[in-house]
């Protein structure tokens, strides 16, 4: 995902997501290829939308994003044209007889997919029983929402350097707040 602020406009370039599109329109978002464009005064709302859908918000972030790696059993997720974990699309089949395409941050660990699935109008991914995907660079916000789901396993360590950096930033901010409160 990429965000740019220029000429009082927030420009967002991100992976296709139906939920994002519906909510973007509610925040005065307009599609001007290759970006969704928002008025800059909606910055807080756009940040919250990006965090909710993608778990990160690039240049709009108030703090660095921590990432984890997960292994996900597809036995526990609903099958359709795409298979999602929360708001993240893991894979999709564009047409019944096309191969399943994994998202850029996803790799097949075990199992596989049927060579064709669903119908012409309603393709399905059709994972084999026991299919497991490794999903890299999952934003911590999304992991927190799915950590209790059956079939989701944390395999990567949390980025310690980013956590230390975030802790130092928060400690500095707490010191500032203590000074302000003491002055009142």
Say how many domains are in the chain.
2
Residues 8 and 42 in one domain: yes
Among 60, 76, 93, residue at a domain's last position: 60
On whether the CB atoms of residues 37 and 29 are closer than 8 A, the answer is: yes
pLDDT tens, per residue, the chain with 184 residues: 899 999 999 999 998 888 999 999 999 999 999 999 999 999 999 999 998 888 888 777 777 778 899 999 999 898 889 999 998 999 999 999 999 999 999 999 999 999 999 999 999 999 999 999 999 989 888 999 999 999 999 986 666 677 778 888 889 999 999 999 999 8
Integer Cα distance of 77 and 157 in angstroms: 24
Question: Which is nearest to 96 in space by CA: 75, 124, 58, 65?
Answer: 124
pTM over 0.75: no
Distance CA 53, CA 3 (A): 14
Give the domain extent around 111.
Answer: 67-154
Number of helices (H), then strands (E), belonging to the chain: the values are 4, 11
Question: How far is the C-alpha of 55 from the C-alpha of 138, rounded, in Å?
Answer: 8
**Shared domain check, 124 and 145:** yes
* Residue 161, domain member (yes or no): no
Residue 123 lies in a domain: yes
């Amino acid at each position: 995902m990429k965000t740019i602020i220029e000429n009082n406009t927030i420009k967002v370039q991100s992976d296709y997501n139906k939920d994002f599109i519906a909510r973007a329109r509610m925040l005065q978002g307009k599609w001007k290829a290759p970006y969704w464009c928002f008025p800059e005064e909606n910055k807080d709302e756009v940040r919250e939308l990006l965090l909710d859908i993608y778990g990160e918000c690039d240049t709009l972030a108030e703090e660095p994003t921590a990432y984890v790696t997960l292994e996900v059993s597809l036995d526990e997720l609903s099958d359709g044209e795409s298979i999602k974990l929360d708001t993240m699309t893991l894979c999709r089949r564009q047409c019944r007889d096309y191969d399943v395409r994994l998202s850029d941050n996803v790799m097949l660990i075990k199992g596989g997919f049927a060579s064709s699935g669903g119908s012409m109008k309603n393709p399905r991914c059709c994972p084999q029983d026991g299919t497991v995907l490794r999903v890299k660079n999952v934003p911590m916000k999304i992991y927190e929402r799915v950590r209790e789901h059956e079939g989701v396993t944390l395999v990567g360590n949390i980025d310690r350097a980013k956590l230390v950096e975030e802790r130092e930033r928060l400690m500095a901010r707490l010191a500032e707040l203590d000074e302000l409160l003491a002055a009142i």
